[in-house]
Structure 1
């Protein structure tokens, strides 16, 4: 299987991977070259199943 891999795609993959592992934007931002943390929102693409899993892992800790 042949893939077109560019530096931009690798960079996007890395920052998405870091965010999905819970690394805070404050730690990613200096390495990303973006001036603001808000610019990192493009890397916050969680699938529905990933969002559901995170919800289920954390809802039990919600103090209600």
Structure 2
């Protein structure tokens, strides 16, 4: 399983996450949302994870 980091290349939190994974030699993939948007499948997988933590899809979207 490869971790995906969605954000922009210049975002401080994205850089911090990339550094954290690199230091621990954990494989990850960065996806720059300014260059390439999320596919429908990627967006759906994010919503599923948010739905699990929020309890419902409506609550996750709020």
- What's the TM-score, normalizing by structure 1? 0.36
Task: Give the greater-gyration-radius structure (CA).
Answer: 1
- What's the TM-score, normalizing by structure 2? 0.37
Q: Larger % of strand: which?
A: 2
